[in-house]
Amino acid sequence: MSRIGKMPVNLPDGVTVTVSADNVVSVKGPLGQLSQKVDPDITVTVEGNQLTVTRPTNQPRHRSMHGLYRALIHNMVVGVSKGYEIKQELVGVGYKAETKGQVIEFSLGFSHDIFMMLPPEVTATAVTEKKGNPILTLKSIDKQLIGQVAAKIRSLRKPEPYKGKGIKFVGEQLRKKAGKSANAK
C-alpha cells in the first residue's frame, strides 16, 4: 500500500466533497470551489467527514496514482478551508514590486519594468518597509497554481550565487560562492 494513499483525508466543518459519475471530485468550502478529474481505475469514497482513496490492483501504475490523487484531493481540501500563501523577497538595490489589481509591476534592475498578469484565482500584495527588502505575498486556494505563479515570478530574476541579489522565497537558504581571491598566484 502507498503510505500516503492509504491515509484518509479528514474533511473540516464547512467542506463538502462530491464525486460525480465520470470520476470528477469537487471540493466546496468557505473560500471557494475546486475540482479534479481522477483516473477511472481509482475509487474515491466519502464516509461521514472522511474521504478515502483506493486502488484496484498492486500494479506500479495504480500504486503511483494512488498516492498522487490522495495528495491532490488533500491539497484541494486544505485550499478551500484555509488557503495557501507564498511570500517572496526582492533582494537588491532598487528592486521593487507594485500591485495594481491583477497586474504586478516589477522593477528588477533591467532597463525596463516588467508587468505580469496574475490568474484570477491568485491575489498579490506588495509591502515595502523602511530599511527592508520588498515582500510580495501571493494568496490562492489552488496550491498547484500558486506554486506555478511563484516559480514564474522567481524566474524573472533568480538569486545570483555571489551576493544573493534576485527574487527568493522568504526563509530560503541560498548557497553563496566565495568569489575571486585578490592575492591568488
Give per-residue pLDDT as tens, 78-105.
999 999 999 999 999 999 999 999 999 9
Nearest to 78 by CA among 121, 29, 18, 35: 29
pTM of the entire predicted model: 0.88
DSSP tag of 122 = -
Query: Which residues are within 8 A (CB) of 184 and not within 5 positions of it... i.e. 6 or more apart?
Result: none
Which amino acid type is present at position 155?
S
Mean pLDDT check: name the lowest of 2-11, 90-99, 125-134, 176-185: 176-185
Buried b (16+ CB within 10 A) or exposed e, 20-59: eeebebebbbebeebebebeeebebeeeeeebebebeeee
